[in-house]
Structure 1
């Protein structure tokens, strides 16, 4: 990968929809050279694809987000996190300091699915583990 490939990747990383003409102008190559370089980088796996990223919440779309506060007796956070992450809807777990041992972030399509997820968690975890659900009401960025 030379400096031109790196420059092309930098432009595409900023905006994957940048036209070949605009990329060619920015990196001082012809359109055909840019097209060929992009094609080669796609074939070799240096460019693995293009994707659409959406914000975690889109207005009008049903989505429930919640934090699960997990308190347990002992040193089983890694084990509990692995169990939680095996469930659909649990996106990440964080071991934290203080009286709470672990926070898990979950996303479901609706409250019923959140309720079903909590039931699964209650069945999965030992009885000495306490889980409290905090539903996200609003998000600021």
Structure 2
């Protein structure tokens, strides 16, 4: 009998959203069933793991993201979440059109990518930056919101 390959689904952002920022705990995640199935995303994902561990399969390789580390995933990489263990993390989701061309080129040249452990000072600085960026993200009524958001993400 011939083997039928199912296409791997691609999850995209709504057309009017190019950037999303959020802090997540494993217990706050909804729709986990979707991300536990192999899929691709149409965006870049940067994750700063604050606590716990996130175990994923990325391009059919197991990846464990531990505390005080940062992880980047390209658009279209096949991946799925295996588990969260007391995980708390910041995530930045950003599409190609929201990135500066020089940053997009830099990110496109990164492959394959593994979680990067951070020293205490760098981790603290990035955590503080992420917290400020999320505050800006939540202030949607501010003049120049889109510009401030885009610039804060490029920080």
Q: TM bucket by the smaller chain?
A: under 0.3
Say which structure is richer in strand: 2
TM-score for the superposition, normalised by structure 1: 0.20
User: Greater relative contact order: 1 or 2 (C-alpha under 8 angstroms, separation 6 or more)?
Assistant: 2
TM-score for the superposition, normalised by structure 2: 0.19
Which has the greater radius of gyration?
1
